[in-house]
């Protein structure tokens, strides 16, 4: 498993020559545990040279779902991990968007979403980790757990403009820190009508209530140190928790007691613990060395093999 290779910005073979397909730039092709390039995919993916190949190990299933996130096509009522098709009214069939998805995909397009049965509820949590690593996006779900506090904190933040001025804006509530080219960025939203209030407001829908960001017509990414210069006191306390202990009830109901499945989940949990730790060690920690105690803490679960 250690040699598993994730290739960002997929290049696919369409039968003639290798060339990059424009709408595949946010899709990953991976090498599975047999060292074969392979993803589980829809017919439209196959038409551009990606073969459908059912995966056996939990790790390969996570990677195959990650490879599909950039596509809008989904199997109707089909679990994306084991391909079981359920009745479309089955209450145990769930849909989840990966944490931080709005940095890449628009809501409602299908992109960034995972369809799964309740028995596989632990697997999307590992897809959150894989998406963070493969896309370089540290979701704010890992930093500010309380959504109400996050909405208030992300309102009326200071946005440095290229002309030297500073104006008010907001941070996307479902976004995340962006790790690119050995730097970390914060994406902010604003507009040139300075009279508009830059605050999140709560709105009630038919079956839920959530925070809605104000209207904005511009966005930009700011290097994190430049962001912190005009937003003193802002902190990024990152916590990556153990999915198996944080979701003990699901584990007990669907995994515990099955010796083979327990072994697979133990392997999966160890694999991502080490993979996430390596990601933060190599890509993230050094950005916070200056005044680290004032602006950041990073906590990642660690388990024994």
Predicted local distance difference test score (pLDDT) of residue 47: 53
Say if residue 254's pLDDT is above 60.
yes
Per-residue pLDDT band for 45 (boundaries 50, 70, 90) equals low
Predicted local distance difference test score (pLDDT) of residue 255: 96
Greatest mean pLDDT range, 1-5, 194-198, 219-223:
219-223
Question: Considering the chain, what is the average pLDDT of its residues?
Answer: 81
Least confident window among 7-21, 68-82, 148-162, 276-290: 7-21
Phi, psi of 166, rounded to the nearest 5 degrees = -130, 130
Predicted local distance difference test score (pLDDT) of residue 105: 84
Predicted local distance difference test score (pLDDT) of residue 32: 52
Calpha distance 27→45 (Å, rounded): 10
Higher pLDDT, 303 or 291: 303
Say if residue 88's pLDDT is above 90.
no
Cα 104 from chain centroid? Answer: 9
Say if residue 60's pLDDT is above 50.
yes
Greatest mean pLDDT range, 11-15, 134-138, 197-201:
134-138
Predicted local distance difference test score (pLDDT) of residue 75: 80
Predicted local distance difference test score (pLDDT) of residue 54: 63
Per-residue pLDDT band for 68 (boundaries 50, 70, 90) equals confident
Calpha distance 200→49 (Å, rounded): 43
What's the predicted TM-score (pTM) here?
0.81
Per-residue pLDDT band for 134 (boundaries 50, 70, 90) equals very high
Per-residue pLDDT band for 83 (boundaries 50, 70, 90) equals confident
Say if residue 203's pLDDT is above 90.
no
């Amino acid at each position: 498993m250690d040699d598993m290779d994730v290739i960002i910005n997929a290049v696919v073979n369409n039968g003639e020559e290798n060339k990059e397909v424009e709408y595949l730039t946010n899709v990953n092709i991976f090498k599975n545990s047999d060292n074969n390039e392979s993803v589980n995919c829809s017919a439209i993916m196959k038409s551009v040279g990606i073969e459908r190949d059912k995966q056996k190990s939990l790790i390969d299933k996570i990677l195959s779902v990650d490879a599909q996130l950039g596509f809008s096509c989904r199997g109707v009522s089909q679990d994306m991990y084991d391909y079981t098709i359920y009745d479309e009214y089955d209450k145990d069939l769930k849909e989840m968007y990966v944490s931080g998805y709005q940095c890449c995909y628009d809501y409602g397009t299908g992109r960034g979403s995972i369809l799964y049965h309740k028995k596989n509820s632990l697997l999307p949590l590992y897809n959150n980790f894989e998406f963070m690593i493969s896309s370089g996006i540290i979701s704010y779900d890992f930093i500010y757990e309380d959504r109400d506090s996050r909405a208030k904190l992300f309102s009326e933040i200071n946005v440095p403009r290229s002309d030297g001025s500073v104006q008010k804006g907001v941070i996307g509530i479902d976004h995340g820190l962006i790790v690119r080219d050995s730097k970390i960025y914060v994406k902010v939203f604003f507009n040139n009508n300075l009279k508009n209030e830059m605050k999140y407001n709560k709105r009630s829908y038919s079956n839920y209530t959530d925070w809605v960001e104000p209207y904005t017509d511009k966005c930009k990414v700011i290097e994190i140190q430049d962001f912190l210069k005009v937003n003193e006191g802002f902190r990024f306390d990152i916590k990556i928790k153990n999915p198996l202990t944080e979701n003990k009830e699901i584990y007990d109901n669907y995994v515990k007691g099955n010796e083979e499945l327990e072994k697979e989940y133990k392997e999966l949990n160890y694999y991502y613990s080490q993979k996430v730790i390596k990601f933060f060690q190599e890509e993230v920690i050094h950005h916070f060395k200056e005044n680290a105690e004032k602006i950041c803490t990073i906590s990642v679960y660690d388990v024994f093999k």
